[in-house]
Chains A and B, each alone.
Chain A
Amino acid sequence: MLIDWLAIAPEIALTVTALLVLLADLNLRGQAKQLVAGVAAVGTVVALVFTLILWGDERSTFGGTFVVNEYAVVFKVLFLGSLLAILGISWRFFAEGRYFQGEYYFLLLTSFIGMIIMPSARDLLLLFVALETVSIPAFIMAGMRKRSLYSSEAAMKFFLIGVLSVALMLFGMSIVYGFTGTTYLPDIAASIAALGTVDPLLAAAIMLVIVGFGFKISAVPFHFWAPDTYSGSPLPVAAMLAVASKAAGFAGLLAIAFIAFEPVAELWAPVLGVIAIVTMTLGNLVALQQRDLIRLLAYSSVAQAGYMLIPFGLARSGAAQVNDAAVQAVLFYLIAYAVMNIGAFGVAIAVHRRTGMRSISDYAGLASKSPLMAMAMTTFLLSLGGAPPTVGLWAKFAIVQAALTDVTGFAILLMVFLVINSVIAFFYYLKVVKTMWMDSAPEGLPALQPGFNLSLVVFVLLVGTVLLGVLPGLVSDATSLTGLAVG
């Protein structure tokens, strides 16, 4: 079997970088160890360049189970961009925290290898491998603050639940294989369509697979690990889990739902729709009660997952226009979400560095001490809420647009919940904004010293949030792809 090397060049580049990082960490001593961060960043840029070269190409290899198309490339750019940003906000955190830097960067890169495989995978097995490659390094990273009980608890919870969900998913996949006799996603679709009626056992298997991804994207009721894990993990890891890992889950879920199980969309769409409603509502209501900023962001990210599930609830088998609109909405939302949420975590890391705390009241008077950081945080939070002129507005817009492509009663119900939840969400985002600008700062606190890398990342993300808020076309042109099902 001939392998299309260019198609897998980004993955190879990242793998080589990961190994280099590991080698460098073994051989370098003392301060020189900090070079690994640079190596990781350079490798990521190389992978990114390879990915961009692939833009516009249609390639497939490994017998069609690994495809590169515009859809996959958009996802890969999203992941690699996130990786660069996370590297930027990690550096100082790990350099100062006396953590295990080499291991951290190796694990981070490995996890991202899994992520960039995910949108290309067209086979249940490859999807599974990709998902595990994302998860297993993440389990270790969550527990990196070895001396902290919370970190150990975070890793333990994350691990147990991650393993449980994967087991469920594998179980489901095996039953699907039993019914269809294939693991190749387009063939599964054809087989299921040929079956005509859906056996209850097959329906249950489909649900199991979807539930497996439900854990990954922290949808209610599979979300309860997320707040504990986010707040216990090192902050850059929390950012990675909240954004990149979640996006990977969505990439897998999109492939499973819209390719393999597209013929039975009537079966899973209502289920995911209801999960969307419950997820956003519960996420927002619980977020209202939070006093710890990281937990607030965690519950907000649960709610955001709920918004991103709305388009899944709209899916209908055979309705290409609706399904395309749904996929585009999810894709655009994920990009917007990555920009604004990593930004918010970046500012949280900067504030954390000063006080070692992360209660919302620590943000009091941030505006008077560090106006630029406060302005950036304000923009990110308003964007998460969906206020103009930020990219968050267009993310919500894309969802509403998808819902109204072909209106159904259920779509209207979903919209009503979206509206109510958007308003609730502003309540707690504004609470933080108010604390930063309108409460007076405690005496004697120094200004933030976020460091160059983190400032640069936050600045770039801030510009991105506003620029995409004014010209969403820069991204929406790339995400307005049709025909995900082209295997």
Chain B
Amino acid sequence: MNDSTATNDSPDWGALLARVAEHDDKAAFRAIYQHFAPRIKAYAINQGFSQHAEVLVQEVMTSVWRNAEKYSESLASVSTWVFTITRNQRIDILRKLNRTRAEVVIETEDLWQIPTEDTTICSIQNLSTEKFVTAALEKLPEEQMIALRKVYYEGKTHEEVAEELNIPLGTVKGRLRLSLQKLRVMFEAKEI
């Protein structure tokens, strides 16, 4: 699927999502799909979830279509919103695969709640936080970024990362700790 058209000024995903919410706008949804589906699939593959990658994409995009009206710019950017849905659906699929019978078990959505309202923080602040996070990530030394990405995004254990990068376990832990410390300092400096 095409993704070669990506430019610096990306579309206003929030506006597109609003069109989906208000008018079931298929063209807007297609644009969202074309941007996010290949990324969700890549996420699934990175998570060692290749077998269920297509299922995950369909589940997430179904959820985006049905819950578009719940998205609010005051909560997060569309990327973050889609990420949280993707994370929860991945967990949900995994849990269903491991379940042996119909049981009353606590729902994923209760454990990883996606907020639906938050009037305490204005939208501008949230959207700028998003840009800020991207900028903060760029400030991390590459070796820390690699370790963070592998653990956060690929769901790797510290041991697996050490093995892949052929470095001692202690070094992996050190890089992760440093990256998280730096991010926290940057986040907190931002929050005033």
Determine if chain A interacts with chain B.
Answer: no
Interface residues of A (CB under 8 A from B): none
